A and B are shown apart, each in its own frame.
Chain A
Amino acid sequence: MKHLAIAALAARHALHARGEAVARAVFYLAILVVLSSLWRALGADGSYVWYVALTEWVVLAMPLLSVEIEEDVRRGDIAYRIARPVSYLWTKVAEGLGNGLVRLAMIGGCGGVAAWLLTGTPPPRGVLLSLPLATLSFFLLVLWQAALGLTAFWIGDTQPLFWVWQKLLFLLGGLLFPLDVYPEWLQRAAYFTPFAPLLHGWARLALDPDPALSAETGLLLAGWGVALVVFLAWLYRRALVVLDVNGG
């Protein structure tokens, strides 16, 4: 209940931080203009633009928890935040989910209209099928962000790790191009990583609206979600131990 209230409060804050949402939406539109030009030059149909509209949508709405947690650790604010009667980690996750979901709604509308205008076609049937999975994927992205942020307890600066994680989303997650574009061996390898189901797994429904694919991706996302929650809880416990050592 406490975390729900925290998420609701963060959502209310996000409703007022319109500048941030506008900045992200403008960048989102620029990406769609570029990618639609690329696919048009290759003679591909509009579903590829809808694909990238979906993947970029959840990634651009993602809260940068890693930066916030790193700041808390660097400034030492963490010392009094962990003393509160709610878990610091799950408070950050709840805040991230609260403001991220509002941004998801805000920029989602812009992306939908832009993709429609750029392709001249309404959203393919698979786009609607992918929306619940997109929300689940967004939840996982928030957990990833929290995990990256917690590494600040050991390495201080989380940005280098974030860059590489983000690029793995491009390469193995299919953030820009569907994985079908890549050689067979890479597609197979990507499915053994958490990145492929995170974006390509459900966004490919824009290209191939197969309910069986949707169910399979849902299960994979749920599995990776549970693994991430367990990993986060473990990482947080370890982080507190390190903090005790440093503070002693």
Chain B
Amino acid sequence: MRYLGALLLTNLKASVALRGAFWARAVFMALNNGIMLVLWMLFFLRYRDVNGWRAADTVAIYAVTATAYGLAVILGHGVTDLARRIHEGGLDAFLTQPKDVLLQCVASKSEASGWGDLLSGVVLFAVAGHLAPATLPVCIVTAVSGAAIFLSWNVMFHSLAFWLGDTTTVSRQAIHFVLLFSLYPSTIFGGWLKLLLFTALPAGFIGYLPVDLLHRFSWGSLLAVAAAAVGYVALAALVFRLGLRRYQSGSRFA
């Protein structure tokens, strides 16, 4: 843990070092989220609800998703280089260290725009009145589990590079998919699509179930969100380890 903390602190320092770029990315990302939320609020001025889904639900889903995504890219933006590193034999530098390879690689970079996401997420939680003592623990658990799912999903797709070559584009697309489905009213999906969002795509565990939890707390839902996070992390670690057996060095130290 101490090692991980030191690694994260170093990355944060590097990210903040270019002060202008850091602030531009953080502020513009918050603005970006703000514009999307205004768009939805205007939409709900016209259509009061979508199969029972109201403006407050959209505020909540943006709060949960933005916070989770912000945390994921602040703490683990190194994952976006994983497929390229695997493909080009760039894991050598991490393999020589006496620490977990996956953890080092994922935590090797921090993205400044994540602070904009995190800030807008926290502001939205506050606006929706969820930062009260009764719901604050739920906000924290759903944000952390959402971040873990985002990162695990990314690790799984990037790890496919062990078998398929550079999968960076596919992995980026996979995250866009999850984000796309996580931010729309869950009530518009039914049947096989809903099933898909809780199985093949983890959007249900990142956005829909947490919003449900914030409005109607139940231990069962909380357990489901936490179990999904643990499950995705375990699955991602397993896929990476299986793939690592096939890894071929880039001979960078030869």
Contact = CB atoms under 8 A, between A and B. Distances in A.
B39 A31 contact: no
The bracket for how many chain A residues form the interface is: 20 to 34
**Chain B binding surface, main DSSP class:** helix
B132 interface: no
Interface of B: 21, 24-25, 27-29, 31-32, 35-36, 38-39, 42-43, 45-47, 50-51, 113, 169-170, 173, 176-177, 180-181, 184-185, 187-189, 193
A176 interface: yes
Contacts of A163: 28-29, 31-32
A26 B27 CA distance: 31
A221 B35 CA distance: 24
Interface of A: 19-20, 23, 26-27, 30-31, 33-34, 37-38, 40-42, 155-157, 159-161, 163-164, 166-168, 170-171, 176-177, 181-183, 186
B158 to A, nearest CB: 15
B32 A181 contact: no
18 contacts: A19-B169, A26-B173, A27-B176, A30-B177, A34-B181, A37-B189, A156-B21, A159-B113, A160-B27, A160-B29, A163-B28, A163-B32, A164-B28, A170-B39, A171-B35, A177-B39, A181-B43, A183-B45
A182 B42 CA distance: 6
Nearest to B189: A37
Contacts of A38: 50, 184-185, 188
Contact of A155 (B24, B32, B46, B173): B24
Choose among A156, A157, A183 the residue with the greatest number of B CB atoms under 10 Å from its CB.
A157
